[in-house]
Structure 1
Amino acid sequence: MTFGTLGENYELVAIKSAGISLQKAMRPLIVLILMLTVSSFVFSNYILPKANLKFYSLMFDVRNKKLAFLIKPGVFNNSIPDYSIRVDSKDEDGKMYGIMIYDHKGTNGIPKVILAKEGEMKKSKDGVYLVFNLKNGVTYEEQSNSNGVYNPRQILSRTRFKETEPKFDMKSFDLQKTDQNAFGNSTVMLNLKGIVKKRDSLTKQMDTLNRNTARTLGNNFKQNNLAAGYTKLKVVPKKIDNVMLKSIPNGSRLASIQNASNTVSVITQSLSNGAPRQEDLNGEIIFTSVEYQRKFTLAASCILLFFIGAPLGAIIRKGGMGLPVVIAICFFLIYHIVTTVAEKSAREGSINPVFGMWIAFILLTPLAVFLTYKATVDSALFDVNYYKQFFIKLFKIKQRS
């Protein structure tokens, strides 16, 4: 936008006529972009991890916050300690119908059951209790035996009511701050030093897992040559053809097949147990490499997009919020799409994580160099009249030939 305005008002022409090249005119903005680049790196390495840590810990608390209005029809809700609540339906005003409440508080394992046709939840005036206003219902309560022995003649009381208001303690609804250290090992919440440390730790875990798997599999194929080195008898090596059972005596074939089957089962079980863990470790190692490179690509993108945008403005010679903004958005979308696709491929293990995170920079750097060169030599790259005259001359040449 800045260089487009300068070009539109012929101020770039005045600057160049004074002997100042385009690169020299771009120096103040280059200094500004370098400051933004350093600030972007510092932000992504120090500030962003802490912001992610606070964001994810707070989001975890909000997700686990116990709210009564989250009661879903047809599902028992255990958000309130010692109570299970189920409703058949619920309208937009918060009124609930077909209410069933199991009260396990102080009943020695025998719940108190409350059934009501309709009801509504609200807070008490002091905000300490959650009041459930129930209408037209029945309460069933069975008295527990004091000695703990079942008595078939225990007393069951049934009470009908037109309206009642059981109270629930609101302490369980308080939002407790989760310890942020519980999320501190997440990759997106680490700086460069933390990512390197985590990647080394994951690599050691992967090496240990591979070593243990190889040792477990190797033990199943280990040969027990007990007589080796203790006899001077020379025995001709026995040749085994494709059908191995022919080389085994008839009386030992069944035992050999069973032993082989057990060995295969052990190997299959070992691989099935280790493969998911190995896949998870490999995915985490790739993700640490991706996040490590992201710290630098975010900063490098500032320089890359500047050397695309500034020469484009000088070539197009249009300022303001019109064409320059449209072209800038197009190039930003190209950069963002290439980066997103490459990052996804890198996280899936299809390409190298380092190459995947830098591929957009690699692809667009030649374009930035080309546009800077064209802007320096005053190329009419986007001049419609230039192309019109070019094709007219070309058409005349073909007619003469």
Structure 2
Amino acid sequence: MKTLHRFILKSYIGPLVMTFFITMFVLLMQFLWRYIDDLVGKGLEWDVIAELLLYASAGLVPMALPLATLLASLMTMGNLGENNELLAMKSAGISLPRILSPLIVLTIAISIGAFFFSNNVLPYTNLKISTLLYSVKQQKPELIIKEGVFTNLIEGYSIKVSERDQKTGLLRRILIYEHKNENTNTTVTYADSGYMQPTADQKFLVATLFNGNTYKEVRDKSKNLYQQKQKLPAQHQKFEKQVLIFELKGFKLERADENFFKDSYQTQNIKQLQKVEDSLKQAFNTQIKLFSQNIIRNSIFRNPYWLNRDSTKKVKIKLDVDSLYNTLKPEEKIRAIERAIDNARSTKSYISSSKDEFYYKQKYIARHKIEWNRKFTLSFACFVFFFIGAPLGAIIRKGGLGTPVVISVIFFIFYYIINLTGEKFARELIWDPNLGMWVSSFILLPLGIFLSYKATTDSVIMNADFYIDKIKKVLNILKFFLKA
């Protein structure tokens, strides 16, 4: 490898790694903000949170990698131009395509790696994070005894505490209703004070109560509910110290079965998506054929043997519907009209329900096509963004995190809006999924070619001094004419 190539790669890899992790951090914070309500107050262990962040980071790579490529290429070529290193290379007879050749090879390698990541790693991480997020959402909130509020998180019990000492943890005026057997408050416990602490394994809650009373209604199962309401004997127990143990169910994270999420299009690779899509298309075409036959058999023709008729033979019977209708009696005409209206209404209802079903099945097929194309758009987006950022950096000749960040964010927002719009149109069957997923890349590709051509020919199209000089010349001409 030539010294020049090593220098270019060294100048590029540093900003690429830095911008990639900065972008990942920003997107990860956005992910946490989105799911903060589902995570806070669940008492999750640190390893569960770390696992969730790891899978979420992998899922954010398709957004972070193209933006990092754009920003790093723009910064690298901008730094070289600002320090006159790019000018020195061109003065030595080295063209811009030759200067960019090692970066082009590296970008191709990154694009290929991004494709294999999207096809092999991303479906696995999507499966894991879908399962983990579902499990977290199903978990009960962390058990917190609040003052003056009934807590119903423990199954079969309602607990209320009037005061809580924040320093010692002592609870005052504790009221416990037990209704786990018959869903009624048959047992009531009141204590002047006490402590409540979960066990080390978080399976039980131990309540130590002081100076209280327990009241319990005694039900006679041999009598019906009305007879029991007439008179209910009760038990009264006074205690100085009592220990109650509550079983904590649902407070520990229980992971859902991954098999429930394996059929999702987001958890499949290209081969699986293609197989499922072919099966869905075949089933859809079969349903369309059956729908056509049912419409003809049940609506257009009422003869059950019409499908068995030899279609090569011409029908010799000519029937005049108007003449036949006129031969009917008045009551027969009414019955015929009513029957025709009923048939038309049932056919309309059948067509309407089938139309909605066909629409949703087409949308489901389109989702598989979208995911199939998404495996390739990530790789191609990295390639396109490099050929936007590198020539643009060579033209503007500004390095650092100032101007390159602003320009990169503008281009990425433009790309992201077009990509979201195209994907939405594809999901709603307005556009073909192939067009919807590739429209953003195909719009930016001519821009990359144009900027590459301008950078190769040393254009000043993005140089602010060029426009400032032009404006000054126009102002001087206007001043000359005004004085004349």
TM-score, normalised via structure 2 length: 0.67
**How has the CA–CA distance of structure 1 residues 236 and 379 changed in structure 2, closer, same or farther, with 3 Å as cutoff?**
closer
Cα distance in 2 for partners of 1:97, 1:379 equals 80
Listed one character per residue, the Cα deviations across residues 118-154 of structure 1 (whole Å, up to 9, x for unaligned) are 9996424664423467877743342323xxx858656
Query: What stretches of structure 2 of length at least 5 have no aligned partner?
Result: 1-74, 310-315
Contact 1:102 1:114 in 2 (8 A): yes
Match of 2:265 in 1: 187
Matched, 1:123 2:203: no
Cα distance in 2 for partners of 1:17, 1:157 equals 105
2:375 to 295, 298, 307: 295
| Residue 192 of structure 1, CA deviation | 0.4
| Residue 225 of structure 1, CA deviation | 6.6
Match of 2:220 in 1: 143
Q: Secondary structure at the match of 2:374?
A: helix
Match of 1:15 in 2: 89
Query: What stretches of structure 1 of length at least 5 have no aligned partner?
Result: none
Cα distance in 1 for partners of 2:116, 2:318 equals 73
Matched, 1:48 2:122: yes
Matched, 1:158 2:234: yes
Cα distance in 2 for partners of 1:360, 1:188 equals 21
**How has the CA–CA distance of structure 1 residues 257 and 176 changed in structure 2, closer, same or farther, with 3 Å as cutoff?**
same
Match of 2:409 in 1: 329
Matched, 1:338 2:423: no
Matched, 1:178 2:256: yes
Pairwise mapping of residues 10-159 of structure 1 onto structure 2 (< 5 A)?
A: 10-67=84-141, 69=143, 83-85=155-157, 100-104=177-181, 113-115=186-188, 122-124=197-199, 127-131=202-206, 138-145=215-222, 150=224, 156-159=232-235
Contact 1:110 1:144 in 2 (8 A): no
**How has the CA–CA distance of structure 1 residues 74 and 289 changed in structure 2, closer, same or farther, with 3 Å as cutoff?**
farther
Listed one character per residue, the Cα deviations across residues 215-254 of structure 1 (whole Å, up to 9, x for unaligned) are 332222243579999xxxx97642539xx97674312133
Listed one character per residue, the Cα deviations across residues 287-338 of structure 1 (whole Å, up to 9, x for unaligned) are 1111111111111010111001001110011111111121112111111111
Q: Secondary structure at the match of 1:69?
A: coil
**How has the CA–CA distance of structure 1 residues 224 and 303 changed in structure 2, closer, same or farther, with 3 Å as cutoff?**
closer
Matched to 1:292, the amino acid is: W
**How has the CA–CA distance of structure 1 residues 165 and 213 changed in structure 2, closer, same or farther, with 3 Å as cutoff?**
farther
Matched, 1:362 2:435: no
Matched, 1:352 2:352: no
Contact 1:213 1:270 in 2 (8 A): no
Contact 1:139 1:158 in 2 (8 A): yes
Match of 2:61 in 1: none
Matched to 1:333, the amino acid is: I
The structure with the largest helix share of the pair is 2
| Residue 50 of structure 1, CA deviation | 0.3
Contact 1:110 1:142 in 2 (8 A): no
1:279 to 353, 359, 365: 359
Q: Between Structure 1 and Structure 2, how many residues are aligned?
A: 384
Cα distance in 2 for partners of 1:289, 1:142 equals 63
| Residue 182 of structure 1, CA deviation | 2.2
Q: Secondary structure at the match of 2:179?
A: strand
TM-score, normalised via structure 1 length: 0.79
Match of 1:219 in 2: 297
Listed one character per residue, the Cα deviations across residues 250-272 of structure 1 (whole Å, up to 9, x for unaligned) are 12133224423442453345345
Cα distance in 2 for partners of 1:34, 1:268 equals 55
Q: Secondary structure at the match of 1:26?
A: helix
Matched to 1:130, the amino acid is: L
Query: What's the % identity of the aligned pairs?
Result: 33
**How has the CA–CA distance of structure 1 residues 266 and 162 changed in structure 2, closer, same or farther, with 3 Å as cutoff?**
farther
Cα distance in 1 for partners of 2:243, 2:352 equals 55
**How has the CA–CA distance of structure 1 residues 374 and 199 changed in structure 2, closer, same or farther, with 3 Å as cutoff?**
same
Contact 2:177 2:185 in 1 (8 A): no
Q: Secondary structure at the match of 2:135?
A: helix
**How has the CA–CA distance of structure 1 residues 290 and 226 changed in structure 2, closer, same or farther, with 3 Å as cutoff?**
closer
- Greater shift after overlay, 343-352 or 155-164? 155-164
